[in-house]
A and B are shown apart, each in its own frame.
Chain A
């Protein structure tokens, strides 16, 4: 079915969007939520399992203290209240991704409730309400086989690997976000970005969307101005920050087309497709009662000691948004300059480069210039470009010490990215150090003067600007390995002119 979609501007002129986001974060604990199996990524199938996470009869779960602590810290960072008493609940459903036939989750008693996260969109602060933060266990991985396509619809069998089953999973649910109008897609993206940064700053998860340790479901509805909120759909399979924005936008357009044609929105789960940028329907949304939640009898209630919670709160790191503000001031950047640093994903890299000894300006120059260009060309994240902050700081140290000029430094940096070693090693191995031996330079200067008598005469007669040609000649003769400023001084001194 092909429907012509209305223009986005028209949609937001006629309808008001309401969005909501459910985000799942796999915690970076050593062990699973309810057993001591390791959580490391990428083991051979069913090598990280035990009677507890396989749900074998007689096994009993015991909650991981580190996971409880991490969840409380996330809740505190999101300005939530921490429950004084709460329980885990069984969520019953029929699907082989959990061997127990249920998932241990939390239902009406989440560990953290009622908070908010402030995010910046186009320089404006938008406060996103947080409904709840709760703890549950991740599910196993099913591989559908048989049939022609390898997809679930053609499959005849499922093969299940339970290595991930039982890994602590934190679910963070926003309150409905209304009133953002045309900015709704950007607000959604900004929220997930900020949430990711907050969780990363807490050090409780590596929050990598591409590896699935941060996953996002996006709820979207449209309503006419002044009227009740519309029926919402839940879009799953949104696996990148860019997709969060695209999924909201695409769902707004689709729903507007349905409503414009006099149709009704079905409450359903939809799947986002990275390649086409649109969504297709999944299963109909079942009601919560079908999950037959009840308190998990095998786990006793949690009652976090208020003194412990206060301790965790006092030890929270500075929030990323405030941290960025402080850095912007320290680095003396304009709003626009800071924005370009943010867009490049370079904040932490520059910060670490400065910590390793480089000036903020130099650190920014390398990360936003040469290295950003390189990352764009090769299609990798800036952090994965092949140079570390320590190496960039070392490189700049060589420049500051006069051992490398700008041109040579770029050559050395290319070597670093290519994995040839540290900047100092590359400089030494490839003999790239600036010629600072005055004897050798003086010889090159004398040669240049002898080879260009007319220019030398001009300079002697006071046309200092003409010295540039001589500098160029010396630089050429030394293969670019001289410091241009030193060369210029030498030439002027040789010709008896004041610089």
Chain B
């Protein structure tokens, strides 16, 4: 059985706002399936006594003091933006989308 269905790929594409054609869906579903199955092989090796790893370095509590550092100027901040207006980033409207928090 495939590790990821065509419908799941279509759903992910919609969440990511990627315009994917019907043909591409077939292609990507096949490719992602191969990748997921390869990753799944790692899961087979992992025994119960091996905790899942999310970070490759054994570090915790890397924190900084609450001290202000210099910001970019608005000109610098907006220099890479495709469009700007009123010193703000200008983007196409997004309707009915998720808003964090």
Contacts and interface: CB of A to CB of B under 8 A. Distances in A.
A286 interface: yes
A171 B101 contact: yes
A47 B90 contact: no
Contact of A63 (B63, B77, B96, B97): B63
Given A93-B100, A283-B98, A155 B93 contact: yes
Interface stretch (A291-299, A379-387, A449-457, A488-496): A291-299
Interface residues of B, number: 43
Nearest to A35: B69
Contact of B67 (A30, A92, A138, A295): A30
B86 interface: yes
Interface string B87-98: 111111111111
Given A30-B68, A158-B94, A291-B98, A303 B89 contact: no
Most chain B beta-carbon contacts within 10 A, residue among A139, A300, A303: A300
A126 to B, nearest CB: 26
Interface stretch (A159-167, A314-322, A407-415, A422-430): A159-167
Nearest to A141: B88
Nearest to B78: A46
Contact of B101 (A37, A87, A161, A169): A169
A159 B88 contact: yes
A46 B88 CA distance: 7
A38 B88 contact: no
Interface in A38-62: 38, 44-51, 54, 56, 62
Interface string B1-45: 000000000001001110000000000000000000000000000
B72 interface: yes
Contacts of B63: 62-65, 68
B86 A45 contact: yes
Given A62-B64, A97-B99, A136-B101, 20 more contacts: A31-B67, A37-B71, A45-B86, A64-B63, A64-B66, A94-B17, A95-B100, A103-B101, A105-B100, A152-B95, A155-B93, A159-B88, A161-B88, A283-B96, A283-B97, A286-B98, A290-B15, A295-B54, A297-B55, A300-B62
Nearest 3 A/B pairs, CB to CB: A36-B69, A66-B66, A159-B88
9 contacts: A35-B69, A37-B68, A46-B77, A50-B72, A87-B54, A95-B99, A136-B100, A283-B98, A300-B57
Interface of A: 24, 29-31, 35-38, 44-51, 54, 56, 62-68, 85, 87, 91-99, 103, 105, 136, 138-139, 143-146, 152-153, 155-162, 169, 171, 283, 286, 290-292, 295, 297, 299-305
Interface of B: 12, 15-17, 54-55, 57, 59-74, 77-78, 80, 85-101
